[in-house]
Each structure stands twice: as structure tokens, then as C-alpha cells.
Chains A and B, each alone.
Chain A
Amino acid sequence: MTDTVVIGAGLAGLSAAIRLAEAGQKVTLLSFGLGGIQLGQGTIDVLGYRGADTLVERPFDEFAAWATEHPDHPYSLLGADVVRDSVDWLAARLPDLLVPGDGRNHPLPTAVGAMRPTYLVQPSMVWPDPTSVAVVGPAQIKDFYPHLVAANLAVTAQVEATGYRIDLPARAGEAESSPVVYAKALEDPDVLARFAEAVLDQIGDEDAVVLPAILGLHQCVQPQLAALLKRPVVEALLPPPSIPGMRINEALTAQAKAAGVRVILGSKVTGFESDGSRVTAVTLHQAGRDQSYPASHVVFAPGGFESAALVMDSYGTITEPVFDLPLAGLDRDDLITGDYWADQAIFAVGTRVDQSCRPLTGDGEVVYENLHTVGGLLAGAIRWTEKSGDGIAVASALRAADAILSPTGTWSPPASPTDQPPAPEVVQTLQEDAEDDADPATTPSPPEEDENV
């Protein structure tokens, strides 16, 4: 039987599934359609803005103040150290795709020439602090207007920026190519060489070249292109489909499968079975019939409104349709305002959870002992203005996984330094003794250890 059913194949679902499977659990991952990673930017946000205009430079330094201002935010529950460890865990898993974090946000050019703050970027996105840039877009790629990007970068990045168009179809007979087609074409060294020639033909002596993020799907060819152009090359973000997002999605999905995760794609979870205190199985609406998937634990990572994990009916009633979980953040009358760019409090609606990411009732009772909600469903964050969704997703997923892996099925904080015994040498000796005593018969039992400590 499955130890844990994970519902959802976004960043949260895949992170939880990998962590659990690598710890030896039998994991089944259920996903209605492909996960959302490739709809993001292929970067990892932690905290980009505090309020609309306050750019965050060092996200973890802001956590203490953030928690005071936003006591119901998932980061207040998780804390700076856990979030940092979690995104570091992810970066370590994807050494070719993510530049390790150094505590500071990176500025990253978007398709409209804004500089967007994010914590982990791909190596092809590192901003080289140029004084002048050439912004180049192939005519065959829609949604990237190099002259618009250049004009805005002159303001947002304080660089001398010039826009250039090149005309190079990804394949014969195609006036407009999907970024996927273009990215795969550029993996061919001959095509890349012709691409580089077309770029060199246009640009001047700018310090760096900004291109839309289409520089190879399965293999990023940014280093080769930089060599051909003899200057740094930066991938700028595009609207979906995000090629950098696809790189991360494919890599994490492959890691999950390699760890033994059974992936079931294309059916929707529509209900569950329970003995009152625990979820005993989830119901998958498969072709022809409903199928029950029994499990000891459930990680629920379905996203939020954007993936219909939360729904609003025509009366304005908001529900979570699978487990009918209690929702927090509903008790205000300005959930949606007429100002498009305002925070829109509706996006903070979600589940309030305990330290193990288990949903709670309004009275603070755990709803089901073995049900954990993670990622976009957690209440208290407005991810798109804060730029906080990825950090919440990874950290809550790992928190839930660690809770499941603990003997009690719940997470408890590691003892703080003040709780530790005063003489570290003694502790060390005890641990060494325990390691030396490999024979279980002579290994001190945990209660004895407790007495000693």
C-alpha cells in the first residue's frame, strides 16, 4: 500500500514527493494535468517586495519584521531558517539549473523590461551589471518586443539599452514559433551559430546581450552563445510557456520518478474516505469509474484559485471542494476590490495550519491527523505581489514531509540552544558511545539516553 498520497505536481507536490520517497516511503503522486512550475519563471522567489514599492534586497533579513507585521503569513509559521534551508535544499538538487543563494535577491529583466527581484536564478539569468545592453528578439517569437524592453530597461536597470530585431525562423515555413520549438532548434550547434551570426550582424559594441528565455530546453546553450557573441548573455523572462520553468519541471519530475514515486497524471481527486480522525483514502475520478487510493498520509498540494483548488460560486461563497477544509481569510468584506493592482485579499484565503502543516478549524483543532496542506493553498500570503510563492511551496512541503517521516507523524521544533545541556563535550561523548555500540542489544534505549541528558 502507498505510504503517502501527494496531490498536485507543482513545486510543493514534487518537493514533498521527492523528500518522502528518498526517505524510503512508497509515494503515489496524483495530478490533474501538468503541474504549474512551467507557468512560473523557472526561478525561486522567497520575498521580493514588502508592500507595493519596497523592494527587498536580502529576503531573510526581513523575516523577523515580516512576521510581526503578518502574523498569519506562512513565513511566520515556518521562520527564516527553515525557508532558507528549504530553498538551499532545492538549489543543491538542481546544481545545473539554480545558482546557490547568497542571501541576496537577483534583479531579473522581464518581457516588459521591468527588473523583477527573485532569490534563486538560473545561471543563464545572472545580471552582469552592464553599462550598456543590446536587447535582441527574433521576429518569430511573440510577446517579446526588444525596443519596448530596451526603453524600459534604460529606466529600471539604469543601463544604456538598445533594441534589435533579428529574422531567423526556427524551422522553414513558420512565421511564428512556440518558444519550445525555438528553444529545441537552438540546441543544434549549426542553428545556434546562425543565430549568433544574425545577432552579431545587428548589435553594436554593447557590454551584454539580453534575449528572451529560449536558449535551449533540455540543454541550456547560453554559455555557448556567450562564447560566440564574446560577451555575457542574459535570458529575460517571457509569458508562459516558460522554458526555464520547463527545465526545472522536467528535472524535478525525473528526480521524483527516479526516487520511485508513482505518478498518475490526468485524473482529478474528487473526494476521500475517513474514519473520522484520519483520511484513509482519496478518491480519483478515473476514466469510466472512481478509484480509491488508500494511504497512511496525504499531502495536499493543489494550488489555489488559479488551479480551481479553491472555488467561488455565484453567491460569492468560497470553498475547497475536495476535503471541504475550513478556510481562513474570509472574514472581511473587501476580498476583491476594483483596483486591479491592489493586493486583492481574496488571494490570502486558504487553510490555516499547525506546525506540521495540518489544516485547523476556526477553533484551532486539527481537522485530520494525517492530512497536510502545503504550497498555494496556505492562507495569509498574497504571493503575486510579495513574490513569495516558491519559498512558501518548498518550505511547507518539506515541513509536511518531515512531519510525516517523524515517528509521531507531527513536526516538533528542534531543541533551541538554551535547552541543550551546558557541557557540549559530554553530549559528544554520549553520541560517540551510541555510534560505537552498533549491537542493538547493548545500545542504550532512548529513555535511558533521556535520563542521562
Chain B
Amino acid sequence: MFDAASQEHATLARASLDQCLKCTICETQCPVMAVTPLFPGPKFVGPQAERYRHGDSVDHSLDYCSSCGTCTLVCPQGVKIAELNSVARAAMKKDHMPVRDQIISRTTLMGKAMHPVAPVANWALRLAPVRWIMEKVIGIHRKAAMPVASTQTFSSWLKHHTSSTQPTRGKVVFFHGCAGEYFEVETSIKTVELLEHLGFQVVTPKQGCCGLALQSNGLFDAARTYVRDLSAQLDIEPGTPIIGSAASCVGMLKHEAREIMGVDDPALIEVGARVRDASEFLLDLAERGELPLDFTPVPLTVAYHAPCQLKGQGMGKPALDLLRLIPGLTVVDAEATCCGIAGTYGFKKEKYDIGQAVGKPLFDAVLEVNPHLAVCDTETCRWQIAAATGAQVVHPVWLLHKAYGLS
């Protein structure tokens, strides 16, 4: 059952289900329903089933929802379909939460555990027997993409870093997310170097995890604590933009924590209004004529995948428009709905095959456009695409970094 705050929130979220006209647009776009009969679709488990739940969830097909949020994005009536499903799933799993879901949703914990022994951990995760045991014991599919721990954390790089340029444009706060601390360190470094190159003074507070993976696994209590702590850490330098290089975590701060878990701390609302995805921030500069366009040509053709949780922010695909400013670079929008990982969904042994089927149109597009390099804004999606295609998959700032001659 819910605590009082989430019960009230659930009631508010439920109000949107009366907007449902049963128009079926969500069903036509749901990437999971398209590949498996195990999930009866967002309309059915969402606004339809919700009328009968009364706080209890008994329809286990709901667990096959990947929480990608496509249904909410495409709904022309404003029904919070994915949010309703997330709340209902949390209620359903409350009393029998799998140990696996508790582990894989704590990214910081995984990072802290793997980083000191990174070479060993990375090596172990490549061993078939280790993966076989992981699948049998905790239910992480043996073929699922695993993060590669970095031997150097972003914090340790930052400790020895001094900007080589004089700030001319004022401050920005940098939000790297927990993956940016332990796994995607290079993306964090390139984002800082890029912002400094553009003349910003980059302030990076010590920061924890946003709790997104906990939330999507239904661990709301822990997720609320994480996102509140993070909001307090980022709520410095009033009025200063907060620039994030982890697009899905940016979405958590902007709206998901509020819309799914009912967190309404003033610090979260403040941070949510100030936080910008890196490409969103840079495109906004470009629109105002404040982004230098002295790019070195990057003669490449790459596929770009806009992650679900970036699309869910309702701002289009900023990276696509931004990268198209780089001469020589041809960016092909893969136009895929979802890569299939959906946070931690595609890691799970019972959902791995579904995740791979969801991602197949995207994998095919990447292999067709450029089997060596592709672009995507979020970490787990990059791991998923890289594992399925063999391509190197990079954050959009990597290409900007190169186009400015910084790499």
C-alpha cells in the first residue's frame, strides 16, 4: 500500500484517466506490445485496468510495461498512461521486490563496488561462467550489456583539472549523474571541456544519483530520498543553468519524480526548472546566435537515436538539430521508438528477448547508416546499442568536442 503522500498523488494521477477516449493511438506506438503478446498494451493496463485497481494491482502483465513513456508522449488527450502504470507496478511489487531489482537499480552502489577493482570487474563481466551464474542467481540475462567501469572516476579527474580558458560568460552548474562519475567518465570530461571552451565557468558540486532506476523498478521510497538529496546538492548558484550530460536523469529532475512519485520539494521544483540537457542548452545558444559556429568539418555519417526519456521531455530532439550545424557531418535520425533497454528492463532475464526485439529496428538502422559509430544521449541506451551492433556509441558532445578541435 501507499503512504499518504503517494496515495494522494496516485489519486491526482488517476484523474487523467478520465481524459482517455480509447482512441488507441498509444497502442499503435507501444514498442513492447508490437513485439510480444505478453503485454496487452498501454490502454488496457493503463486507463482501463486502473479503474478496477483501488490501490491493489493484480494484473501481472503490467510488469511487462518497460516504462519507456511512449504512450504518454503520443497521447493527444494528456492521459498520464506510463505514470499510472509505474505507480500501479510499484504497488504490485511492493511486498515481493526481487533482490535483483534492488541491486541493479542502485547505480552508485555498482559504480562504487566496481570502480576500485575496475579491470577485474570488467574482466569478470566478460566471462561466460560468471554471467551464467549471474543469470541463474539474480536473473540478469547472460547476454545483457554490462557497463564498463572506468579506472578513473570523474571526481578524481576534476580534482586535477584547471580550465585552460578564461570564463567570459558566467557560471553553469554541471550535473553528470552517477554513470558520469563511474562509467561514462569521458562524456563528463568532454562536456566540461566543451562548456569551458565556450567561455563558461563550470561549477561541479558533489552529487549523488537521481534515483531513476529505483523509481522504474518501483522502489519509490529509496528513489524519493535519492532525488531529494540530489536536488539539494544541485540547488546552488541561484539563477544559474544546470547542464546535464545524462538526458534521462535530466528528465527525472524536470518532471518524472514529480509526476510519478509526487515529490514536490521546493529544491526539486527549482532544480527541475533550471536543469537543461547539454544539447538543449547548446541549441538554445545557437538559436539566439550565441554559439560560435567555427567548427572543423567532421566528415562522417552517423545514426542518431533520441532516447525515450529525452523525447518525454517534450522538447523535440535538440541533439539532432545541434549536430546538423557541424559541417561535413550527416546525422540520420534512426526514427526508432526505443532501444529496448528502458533503464534496466532489458537486463532482466525474462525480458531480455523482448528488449532485443524492441530495439531491432534501431539496431538495423545503426548497422545500415554506420556500423562503426552512432550517437545517443543516454548511458544505458548507448550500452544496449553498442552491445547489439558492435558500434561505438557516443554522447552528442563527443562530436561537438571534436568539431571545436578539442579532440
Binding site for B on A (CB under 8 A): 1, 32-36, 38-39, 171-174, 178, 180-181, 184, 240-241, 246, 257, 262-268, 284-289, 291, 306-308
Please determine whether A289 and B76 come into contact, CB atoms closer than 8 angstroms. Answer: no
Contact between A178 and B73 (Cβ–Cβ < 8 Å)?
Answer: no
Q: Whole-angstrom distance between the alpha carbons of A180 and B34 in the complex?
A: 8
The size class of the interface chain B forms with chain A is 20 to 34
The residue of chain A having its C-beta at the shortest distance from the C-beta of B273 within the complex is A289
**Chain B residues within an 8 Å CB radius of A246:** 28
Q: Which residue of B lies closest to A266 (CB)?
A: B314
Specify the chain B residue showing the minimal Cβ separation from A174: B37
With A33-B76, A34-B74 given, is the CB distance from A180 to B312 under 8 Å?
no
Say how far A441's CB is from chain B's closest CB, in angstroms.
33
Contact (Cβ within 8 A) A308 B77: yes
8 pairs of A and B residues whose beta carbons are closest in the complex: A33-B76, A267-B314, A288-B254, A264-B316, A266-B314, A287-B255, A174-B37, A287-B254
Q: Is B272 an interface residue (CB 8 A)?
A: yes
* A–B Cβ pairs within 8 angstroms, 14 of them: A33-B75, A35-B76, A184-B34, A241-B23, A241-B27, A257-B333, A264-B315, A265-B74, A266-B73, A287-B254, A288-B253, A289-B254, A289-B272, A289-B273
Q: Which residues of chain A are near B29, meaning CB under 8 Å?
A: 34
Instruction: Find chain A residues with CB under 8 A from B251 CB.
Output: 287
How far is B243's CA from A5's CA once the two chains are assembled, in angstroms?
Answer: 27
Which of the residues A171, A173, A284 comes within 8 Å of B314, measured between beta carbons?
Answer: A284
Closest to A39 in B: B23
A181–B72 Cα gap in the complex (Å)? 20
Contacts of B333 in A (CB 8 A): 257
Cβ-closest chain A residue relative to B25? A34
Partner of B316, one of A36, A181, A262, A307: A262
Q: Does B116 contact A (CB under 8 A)?
A: no
Check: B3 CB closer than 8 A to any chain A CB.
Answer: no
* CB–CB B321/A286 < 8 A: no
Q: How far is the CA of A264 from the CA of B77 in the complex (A)?
A: 16
**Does B294 sit within 8 A of A, measured CB to CB?**
no
Give Cα A170 to B405, complex, Å.
53
Q: Name the contact of A265 in the complex, choosing from B21, B41, B311, B321 (C-beta under 8 A).
A: B311
Interface residues in B1-56 by Cβ distance below 8 A to A read 21, 23-25, 27-29, 33-34, 37, 41
Chain A residues whose C-beta falls within 8 Å of the C-beta of B311 in the assembled complex: 265-266
Across the interface, which residues of B come within 8 angstroms of A263, CB to CB?
316
Residues of chain A within 8 A of B272, CB atoms compared: 287-289
Q: Which parts of B224-274 form the interface with A (CB within 8 Å)?
A: 251, 253-255, 272-273
Provide the residues of chain B in CB contact with A262, threshold 8 Å.
Answer: 316, 321
**Contact, CB under 8 Å: A265 / B314:** yes
A171-B37, A257-B333 are known contacts. Are A287 and B27 too (CB-CB below 8 A)? no
Q: Does B204 contact A (CB under 8 A)?
A: no
Report chain A residues within 8 Å CB of B23: 39, 240-241
Q: Which residues of A contact B77 (CB under 8 A)?
A: 33, 307-308
Complex contact B25–A173 (CB within 8 A):
no
In the complex, whether B122 has a CB less than 8 A from a CB of chain A is no
Query: Cα distance A184–B360 when bound, in Å?
Result: 15
Query: Which residue of the partner chain A has the closest CB to B251?
Result: A287
Which residues of chain B are within 8 angstroms of A267 by Cβ–Cβ distance? Answer: 314-315
- The one of A171, A241, A285, A289 in contact with B25, judged by C-beta atoms closer than 8 angstroms, is A241
B65 to chain A, nearest CB (A): 16
A1 to B, closest residue via Cβ:
B287
Quick check: B41 and A32 within 8 Å, CB to CB? no
Identity of the chain B residue whose Cβ is nearest the Cβ of A289 in the assembled complex: B273
* Interface mask (B63-79 → A, CB under 8 Å = 1, otherwise 0): 00000000011111110
Query: Contact between B28 and A180 (Cβ–Cβ < 8 Å)?
Result: yes
Interface core residue of B27, B37, B311, B313 (most chain A CB under 10 Å): B37
